[in-house]
Structures are given as structure tokens and as C-alpha cells.
Amino acid sequence: MGAAAADNAAGDAERGGRGRASAPEEREVKVVVVDEQEAPAPATARMLQTQRPPAPLQVTTQAPPPPMSVASGGADPPPVATYQPVMLTPPQPLASLNSRVYTNQISLCLFLLHLAAAGFAVGFFVFHAVKDIVQHPRSRSARVESSLLREWLPPVEGAVALSIVLAFAWQKAVRAWPRAMVRVILWSGFGVTLAVGAMLMCFSMPATVGLGVAMVVFSIGTGLYACWVTRRVGFTARVFECAVRPVDKFRGLNGPAYVMVAAGFVWISVWCVAVIGAANFRFAGLTILALVVSLAWTAEVMRNVANLTASRVIALYYLRGMQSSVQFSFQRALSYNLGSACLGSLFVPTIEALRILARGLNLLEGEDEFMFSCAHCCLNVMNAVFTYGNSWAFVHIAAYGRGFVQASRSTWWQFERQPGMAALADADITSSVCFLTGVTSGALCVALAGSWAYATHKHYTATVSLLSFYVGYLMTRIGMALPQACVGCYYVCFAENPGSRLFDSTIPDRLRKMQDAEKDAFVPTPRFPAQQQHHVSAA
């Protein structure tokens, strides 16, 4: 009996051992909270928690010990824990809004050197003109300069004064009636340039006829563009309406634009007198061309200073809900961010113009594969360059104090992060609308100054008309910096924080429609294969 019982026990133990050995190995995952501190008293719990925060969570994996036979009298040893800590990623800190680093210092130094050189040249030519008129009134150069001061300068100054009025009028109209003004600007650009071009052609002088033909051709292109973007006009009008709403919350937000327009008026007035002095200089053509390029860069920097001021105020309102000081933002734009404004003023117009040209070439399909392959290559290159230099960068320059290239990449990355946002921003026509306001103002200045010069001194009509258009365009673009900055902040800040309660459903609805249009895209009718088409034609 005893031997049988012992055999049965041994058999049971052997079967139990084999059963445990054949069972699949299991792994256990335990979450162990390591905290060696004692529980604090209720009164001091919060204070001690801030002084000695609890240890982080650690996730450990533990394998079970090997099976042991019960018959051998062994006991399971205590588990040996192997700790593999998993570090929790802390939240990313918010970007600083008060960077005191001068951005793009090389471009800032170049602009300041250029400004000093331009100021010296303007002063020298003004002094040269006045000296000739006062000291040598009977000399040939003095007579020419006196004639220019009496006959050429008043129409140009009248065009400058009209451009200031038009700049303020366009800005006020866009802020008051944003929905209607998009269509008005598109079609007024067509109508006004066509009428002024016809007026110049009626003067029947070779130079004015050439300018008139150029304006008529441009007006035709403007009309075709207005027809082409008809489907985008409604959305652009709604974006304008939503973007300019925060302007009324900040008193004096349009003040920097007015200051820049006044500074532009003073500089252009002195600049016109300097052109008169440069007309009798040794290399008159090259000198006047250099003065024209200098004026373009200076006016563009003025516009971008106003853009940066408004962008900082509006962007901080969207991103942080802050009521920023307009004066402080204006000071930052004139100091820390001035280098980025100078660099952007050089590259943004150039990049956008080349990109538009490349797109136009790609719209023309032909049989010359080499030429159009080059056009496709140029477009790809310009699209790549566009990510490193675009007008959306001014929002991040103003808000975070970044350099121009870094801000261009960060803003475009924000667009690419949101599905469809990059395509929506790329199809925006706000910059085109602001451009056409400058063109329309320039054409109206030509109508005033050109007719004035034709009525008094016909031989100055062409030069006065050309300079009046140039001045009217530059001054109006400075005045339109505020609405363009508002639209830029609306796009960029939505891409950065789309869940903000300060945004309505304008952009999400548009993105949804774009996605639906891609799903419901038109599928072309399938064609017969070449061999089958040959049989059909033979039959």
C-alpha cells in the first residue's frame, strides 16, 4: 500500500511537472510607481509636492521563473524585477515672442549703406541743381534745370499728392466694404488702364503711343485674369472680410502705414528734384536708373515695415489672445526685424515674378519638347525656391523674430502640415488684388499728370506719365500693407492653430470643398487604341 501510494504521488508530480513545462511561456507587464516619500499631511501636501515632485512612471517587463517540481520540495523564488524606464516626453515650450536678436544683419548693413549712399547722391544732385540755377542762371544746364523745375516737376508732384489720397482711399474702402472691393479692384484695374492707355495713344506722339499700347495690352491681360479667377473671388472676399475684423480692436493700427506714406511723400519729393540735377550729369541715364532702383527698394522696405507692424499685432491676437502695443511693434519692425524686411523686399518681388512667368510658360503646351521640359524644370526650381522665400514669412518674422529664410520655411511647413492648406494658400489672389490697386492708382496718376503735361508742355508728357505711374504704384502699395498683412496673418495663424475660437468656418469649408472636388474630378473619356482607330477610319 505504501509503495503504491508513493508511486502514485511520484506519477502525479511527474505529470504536473510535464504539464507546466509544456505550457507556453507567458510574460507579464507591470506598472510600478516608485515613490519613496512618505504620504504628506493634508495641510502641507501641495507645498511638498511642488518641492519634491513624485518620481516618473516606469514600465517594467518581468518573465516568470522556471518551473520547479513540487515533489522536490522546492519553493518559487521571489521575482527579480528588471526595470526599463520609459521617459515621458515633456510638452514643447512656446516660442519666444520678445526676441532681441537683429535678424538678417548682412542685408540690414547693405540697406543702411545703400540708404546712406542714396541720401548722399540725392543731396549732391539737389545741391548741384540749385547751385547752377543760382550762380550760373544763363548757362545751358541752368536753363534746362529751370525748365524742368517749372514745367516737369509740378505735374509729378501733383501725381504724388494724388497717390497719397488714393492710398488712403483704397485702404479705407477695403476695410469698410471688403466683399465688394475685391470685384471692384479686379475690374477697375481693367477699365482704368484701358481708358488711360487709349488717352495716351490719342496724344499721337511716338513715346506716348508706345506707353498707351503697353497699358492697353496690360489691361487686356488684367481682364482675362479677372475672368480666370472668377471662382475664387467669393472666397477671397470672405477672407478679406474676416481678416480685417481685428483692425477695429487696435486703435492706431493703420498709423504706421500712414507714417510710411508720409515719409515716402517727403523722400519722393526730394528725389524728384535730385532727378532734375542728375539729368545734366555725365552719365545721366545710368544715374537716373540707379536712383529709380534705389527708390523701389526703399519704398518696398517702407511697405514691409508697415506689414511687419500690423502682422505682429494681429498674429499675437490670433495665437495668444494678446492686446499688443502698436508703438512697440512699430519699434521692433524698425530695429530688430528691419534686416528681414530689407532681405524680403529684395527677393519676394523677384521670386514671385519669376514664378508667375514660369507658370505662364507651363500653361502653353506645344510640340517643342526641349523648350517645355525646360519650362517645367524652371517651374520646379522656382517652387523649391519659393519655400525659402515667400511673402507669408513676414508673419513669423513679426511674431517670433525669425530670419527671412527660416520664417519662410516655417510658415510653408505649417501650410504643408494641414491637408490641402498649401494648395489653398498657393491659390490665394490677395497679393494680386493689392497689386492691382497699385496699378489702378498709377493709371489714375498718369491720367492727371499726363494730361497736365500735355496741356502745358507736350515734350514732357511721356516722362511725366511714366514717372507718375511709378510713384502712384509705390505709394498705394505702402498704404495697402495693412489689409495684406491681415490676410497673411489669417492664413498663417489658422494653419498654426486651426482649433482657435477666433476663426470661423471659412477656411475649413473651403478645404472640404477642395477635397470633394478632387474626389469628384472629371474622368476623361477613354479613347480607342491607335490600331483600332486605324481600322475604324479604314472602314
Residue at 435 is within a domain: yes
Residue at 460 is within a domain: yes
Residue at 285 is within a domain: yes
Which residues of the chain are modeled with pLDDT < 70? 1-95, 359-373, 375, 518-539
Q: Is the dihedral of CA 156, 157, 158, 164 positive or negative?
A: positive
Q: Note the pLDDT of residue 483.
A: 93
Half-sphere exposure of 280 (CA within 13 A, CB side): 23
Q: Note the pLDDT of residue 31.
A: 43
Total structural domains within the chain:
1
Q: Note the pLDDT of residue 121.
A: 93
Q: Note the pLDDT of residue 523.
A: 44
Alpha helices in 364-459 (DSSP H): 369-386, 393-400, 404-417, 421-426, 430-456
Residues 335 and 322 sit within 8 Å (Cβ to Cβ) = no
Residue type, 18: R
Residue at 124 is within a domain: yes
Residue at 221 is within a domain: yes
* Rounded alpha-carbon distances, angstroms, from residue 425 to 362, 431, 532: 20, 11, 45
For residue 312, the enclosing domain spans: 108-510
Residue at 536 is within a domain: no
Residue at 384 is within a domain: yes
Residue at 98 is within a domain: no
Q: Which of 251, 298, 257, 254 is nearest to 274 (CA)?
A: 298
